[in-house]
Amino acid sequence: MPAGTKDYYAMLGVERTANADEIKKAFRHKARELHPDVNGAPDAEDRFKEVNEAYDVLSDPTKRDQYDRFGAVGGRAPGGQGGGYGYSDIGDLFGGGAAGGFSMEDLFSAFFGGATGGGRGGVRLEGRDMAMQIVVTLAEAASGAEKEIVLDRLASCDVCGGSGAVAESKVVTCPECGGTGQRVSQRKTFLGTMQTVVPCERCGATGHIIENPCEECQGTGRVPDRQHVSVHVPAGIRDGQQIRLQGFGEAGIRGAAAGDLLVTVRVAEDEYLHREGDDLHGLANVGFTQAALGAKIKVNGVLEDNEVEIPAGTQHGDTIRLRGRGMPRVNRTGRGDLIVHVAITVPKKLTKKQRELTEQLAAEFGEEHSEHKTPLQKLKDWLGA
Ligand SMILES: [Zn+2]
Ligand SMILES: [Zn+2]
């Protein structure tokens, strides 16, 4: 058998020479052994699937023959060089399409579908959670904000107060299921009679019947609704953080608990300020004379304007940290810092006087510089005049 191929014979614990009867017996034995009522092992469900897969193949003479020869069903020999065999979808093979009128999924749900009361059989009456996204500016994130959202959802019915009934007294226990909302269904399978728990159809799995259902909500207790909701965004919130509004999700069926609304807050990038955690980084343009002589300049912050002292001799790229001028810390006191990055700007054009003074300054510093030429002089140079 090629490497990586499942050994179906080993899964069922039979010899390769086993006949159909032996295979059937082995399968029944294994299937009972792995029944979740008996077998609490966490891998029981997976092993159960494997056993079914093995049986599906070995109980079918054509598939078994193919498996014996190629080590797989559907044609492809694992590890082989492809060739003319199309590998049929595994879902076709073992899913609902299985031949013989009895699919593995049927059997599977018979075991796991709620004979033990849990899982798929239960019907959820509580409303679902809902999710939404809002965008705030950095300034709003800093100051905190009230943002109005439009919420479309199934809300509790006003007419019946969510009960689904015109009057409370009209709600009676479902005679079909005795108020459990579940009904036991018996089916005959080749493993014997299987008991399955299915949702009660009569009461919609609620356990109650409304003799006089509310017309507004047809007895469900909830109606489609549009609501304007104000969301409080706390100061200091970070991009991607979520706000949970309890009970603002979908209403529950007939008064069951409503879900929550989860609002994800996106903080938009700011044009001037870059955020890193609770700190902010900003840029301050400083003239070269200001940098040389020192100056007091204004720097925009997120909540206030700041006066920043640029010391004489400040270099391009120097940073100045303004403590407590960054973002508020959400749910805590205090604020991060504002880190001002100094960008020294050089005038692109100089007036005649500015140029003369700058040339004098250059001479004073002993710095070489290009000679200034007027357009007319440049033309004369070019003409060789
Ligand atoms: Zn109603
Ligand atoms: Zn019922």
Q: What is the pLDDT of residue 380?
A: 85
Q: Provide mean pLDDT across the span 291-302.
A: 95
CB 35 within 8 A of CB 191: no
Q: What is the pLDDT of residue 189?
A: 77
pLDDT(74) > 60: no
Residues less than 5 Å from ion ligand 2, measured at CB: 174, 176-177, 200, 202-203
Closest ligand (CA of 165)? 1
User: Of 75-84, 292-301, 355-364, where does mean pLDDT reach its minimum?
Assistant: 75-84
Q: What is the pLDDT of residue 95?
A: 33
- Ligand 2 center from residue 177 Cα (angstroms): 4
- What is the full DSSP assignment across 28-48? HHHHHHT-TTT---TTHHHHH
With cut-offs at 50, 70 and 90, classify the pLDDT of residue 249.
very high
Closest ligand (CA of 213)? 1
Q: Provide mean pLDDT across the span 161-171.
A: 77
Chain mean position to CA 204: 31
Residues less than 5 Å from ion ligand 1, measured at CB: 157, 159-160, 214, 216-217
Closest ligand (CA of 221)? 1
User: Hey, what are 250's tokens?
Assistant: 């979908």
- Ligand 1 center from residue 220 Cα (angstroms): 7
Q: What is the pLDDT of residue 112?
A: 34
User: Hey, what are 329's tokens?
Assistant: 């810390």
- Ligand 2 center from residue 123 Cα (angstroms): 12
* SS3 assignment, position 95: coil
Q: What CA dihedral angle connects 133, 137, 138 and 139, to 10 degrees?
A: -130
User: Of 62-76, 191-205, 227-241, where does mean pLDDT reach its minimum?
Assistant: 62-76
The average confidence (pLDDT) of the chain is 81
Alpha-carbon distance of 52 to 142, in angstroms, equals 59
Closest ligand (CA of 175)? 2
pLDDT in tens, 314-359: 999 999 999 999 999 987 889 999 999 999 999 999 999 999 999 9
- Ligand 2 center from residue 203 Cα (angstroms): 4
Q: What is the pLDDT of residue 242?
A: 95
pLDDT in tens, 89-142: 323 333 333 333 333 333 333 333 322 233 333 466 889 999 999 999 999 999
Q: What is the pLDDT of residue 377?
A: 82
Q: What is the pLDDT of residue 72?
A: 67
- Ligand 1 center from residue 178 Cα (angstroms): 24
pLDDT(160) > 80: yes
- Ligand 1 center from residue 210 Cα (angstroms): 11
Supply φ then ψ for residue 289, to 5 degrees: -75, -35
- Ligand 1 center from residue 211 Cα (angstroms): 13
With cut-offs at 50, 70 and 90, classify the pLDDT of residue 38.
low
Q: What is the pLDDT of residue 302?
A: 95
- Ligand 1 center from residue 217 Cα (angstroms): 4
pLDDT(88) > 50: no
pTM of the model: 0.57
- Ligand 2 center from residue 210 Cα (angstroms): 11
Please, which residues bridge with residue 106 across strands?
none
pLDDT(171) > 60: yes
DSSP 118: -
pLDDT(214) > 50: yes
